[in-house]
Structure 1
Amino acid sequence: MRSLIIKIVVWVAFSGAFLSCKKMDSTYRQFTESGKIIYPQRAVKPVIYTGRNRVKIVWLKGTDQSVIRAKIFWNNYTDSLEVPIPPGADTISTIIDNLPEQSYVFNIKTYDAKGNVSVPVELLSATYGEKYQDGLLIRPVNLAEIDEAGKLTIVWGNADISGGAYATEVTYTDNTGKALMKRFPISDSLSTVTGVKKGTTFQYSTLFLPDTLSIDTFYTPAVTENVMMKLDKSGWVASADSYAATSQLANGGGPPQFAIDDNINTFWHTDHTTTKPPYPHWLAADMKKVFHVARVELTSRPNAITADATDYIVQGSMDGSTWTDISSFIMPNTAGPQSFNIPNAPAMRYIRLYMTKGPNYYAHLAEFSVYGYE
């Protein structure tokens, strides 16, 4: 009897479960086709590209020809963009504009004509804008110099590579007066441009990509850079604390003008036969115009490099009477031109080499050149 009761209970429970399953299956089929959920093919191999207050999203359409549109959601599904998918398309591409600078989570869903929706594809990305722009650092110029042939040489300082710097654009004026632009990779520590018009400036900007998938290039504000050149000394007037009027050179002794004649075989020499003045000595030049002086270049007498003055102070003046110390250096015992940079390229009409020390009581110099710009 007990066994019969158990069998009856099991049969009732099974019958109830069967009827319940049939009812649930009937309800479920209202949302399926042939008993299966329809999921259109989702976005295939999507890639998201960052940009300036925008992103670009690209994906492959895939093989499911029933997909007719897609919808991209962001900001927790509060914002969206619908993207039509043409029948013959292989690749789908769209840009979402006007996005504030921040990080984003995007979800892509595809749809067929019956409204069936795919499983979403999630993409993480970010946009860049004023905050990123304001943090960009322009690459410094350590040296910008043009030679007599119009060849511009630019020596670059360190670039902010970690911040995305990848190139520098230089806009210059050629010999015809036309503005031209050249782009140099950030790996260049030295760049050259030929055919540049002497006496002109150039403008440059550093280019940045926030990341390797950015569709927008960011530029630092353009900076105008002065180009220094060897100043033309014709018309200059040299003076000195003293000079050898008759000794040294058979063609006229050692006057100060010989130090600015672009001839290393002539030279200035202090008087060492009559008054024999000791240190300090000085050699000055009236450049006849105001220049920004960025560098001086000194050349020793070829056969007397160990007898030159050793300790120099470079001085500048606007009137030739009141002098200001602007730089100092030690002259090495080296043949050929020796260059010495002047910080901040101060403006002056008169320039003076003030010599305070040397191996002898006298001083001499074969050539004195100045590099700068107006």
Structure 2
Amino acid sequence: MKTIKYLACFFLFGTVVAISSCTKEDDYKEITKDGEIYYPGRVDSVAAQGGNKRIRLRIHLGNDPLVTKVKAFWNNSADSVEMNVTKTTGKDVVDMLVNNLAQGTYYFEVYTYTSDRAKSIVKKVTGMVYGDNYLKALTNRTIKALSYAQDGSKVLIDWNEALDGEKSIELKYTDEAGATQTMIVPGGAMKTEVTGYRSDTKLTYRSIYLPEPHAIDEFSIGYTEVVLPLFERQLDKSKFAAYVLPTDATEEWGWELKFLWNENYNPYGFATATAIPQWFTFDMGTSASISRFKIWQANDRLYKGGNLKKFEVWGSNNPGADGSWTNWTKLVDCESRKPSGLPGNEYNDQDEGYVRAGEPFTMPAGSPKVRFIRIKTLETWGGGDGITVGEITFWTSDR
């Protein structure tokens, strides 16, 4: 009885195998009725390189000489782009641009095809497209400090930290001839030097961003503008010297002319006893166009005595040896003031702070270069004869 059951089971198993074998063979015959299955060589590799509302697929083809077309699908195969290719004997590279994409991450499936529409196995790649939202997050680098080299030959820029992806900074400035120059600052640089610039002009710059190392588009926003302050340097007082001419007022009471530039802001300074108007002369040691200067009053008699109230500043490069006004040019008319406006010799803390810091005076733009300075006093705060001056300092924009 058992033998009959085993025989029946064996017969049934054999029948199933035979049927299955026949089915597979029939299916294979159906698939290959026009010949063997052929899959074109799929692409070796695909790199997705993001851009501005677009992406580039850099496709490295294999060696299959029968490949005639490449096609990429995305958006669950709802969208696609294709391009014909002509194979050479080597491994060719195909750049496929996909345009008009919204910002976001994209998943691509790439296939190769033959002329008779045989299709390869898929090669997948993921890439990022950048757009308006990315641009909104960008800012130009900010400047931490803007200064000059001591001799004015360079503008020195100290930058704050850069945002991720900054490739460079495009920097524009006006040169001494009035032409616009452009320099490229490497991304991440913390210091920049600009030479050959024109004072009192605008510096414009913008950061250039590359959102990924092999992105196909650069990104930037509008330019940031910075007005370069007028360059100034203090004239070297070590070069100053007395230059007494026959008509000059003479120093008195041990307050000598040389004390006028010794950087000592306490008495002594320079003093005379000559009747007003009077003048004195000194040599700056070099010819310069003065942009501004400061005068410190003798600080033991603020807003009184012989401290200067109204005076003129004259300049020359070749003063007459006779002490006359030949070859002298008036540079500026000056009047000392009190910020408070208090009458007479009265003054408050604001006035005192103002003159103890050195009272500032500005020269007219384009003042000529001069080496010798003559200061002519017309009125003092005390109204009498003689003058007292604590210290004087000059600045120039000459480089």
The alignment's TM-score, normalised by the length of structure 1, stands at 0.64
The 5-angstrom pairing of residues 74-93 of structure 1 reads 74-88=74-88, 90-93=92-95
User: After superposition, what is the alpha-carbon deviation per residue over 1:224-246, rounded to whole angstroms, capped at 9, x for unaligned?
Assistant: 11112335999xxxxxxxxxx85
Letter in 2 for 1:271: A
Helix, strand or coil: the match of 2:172? strand
The residue aligned with 1:276 is: 301
Q: Is the 8 A contact 1:29 1:35 kept in 2?
A: no
The 5-angstrom pairing of residues 256-267 of structure 1 reads none
Q: How big is the alpha-carbon RMSD for the aligned residues of Structure 1 and Structure 2?
A: 4.4
The 5-angstrom pairing of residues 127-142 of structure 1 reads 127-142=129-144
Q: Is the 8 A contact 2:53 2:129 kept in 1?
A: yes
Q: Is the 8 A contact 2:270 2:389 kept in 1?
A: no
The 5-angstrom pairing of residues 157-306 of structure 1 reads 157-161=159-163, 163-231=164-232, 247-249=255-257, 254=270, 268-271=295-298, 276-277=301-302
The residue aligned with 2:331 is: none
The reply on whether 1:367 has 2:375 as its aligned counterpart is no
Q: Which runs of 5+ in 2 are unaligned?
A: 236-250, 261-268, 272-278, 287-292, 312-336, 341-349, 364-387
Q: Which runs of 5+ in 1 are unaligned?
A: 235-244, 287-319, 332-347, 351-361
Letter in 1 for 2:165: G
The residue aligned with 2:59 is: 59
Residue in structure 1 matching 2:120, options 118, 129, 133: 118
Name the structure, 1 or 2, with higher relative contact order (CA <8 Å, separation 6+): 2
| Structure-1 separation of matches of 2:309 and 2:113 | 84
Q: Is the 8 A contact 1:144 1:228 kept in 2?
A: no
Q: In the superposition, relative to structure 1, how do residues 196 and 35 fare at CA in structure 2: closer, same or farther (>3 Å)? A: same
Shift of 1:6: 3.3
Helix, strand or coil: the match of 1:153? strand
Asked which structure has the greater CA Rg, the reply is 2
User: After superposition, what is the alpha-carbon deviation per residue over 1:18-74, rounded to whole angstroms, capped at 9, x for unaligned?
Assistant: 134213322233224798643222111211111111111112211111221121111
| Structure-1 separation of matches of 2:3 and 2:169 | 93
The alignment's TM-score, normalised by the length of structure 2, stands at 0.60
**Number of aligned positions between the proteins:** 290
Q: Is the 8 A contact 1:72 1:80 kept in 2?
A: yes
| Structure-1 separation of matches of 2:144 and 2:118 | 63
The reply on whether 1:3 has 2:28 as its aligned counterpart is no
Q: Is the 8 A contact 1:50 1:127 kept in 2?
A: yes
Helix, strand or coil: the match of 2:257? coil
The reply on whether 1:17 has 2:17 as its aligned counterpart is yes
Shift of 1:369: 4.3
- What is the percent sequence identity of the aligned residues? 21
The residue aligned with 1:292 is: none
| Structure-2 separation of matches of 1:24 and 1:121 | 29
Shift of 1:147: 6.5
Helix, strand or coil: the match of 2:185? strand
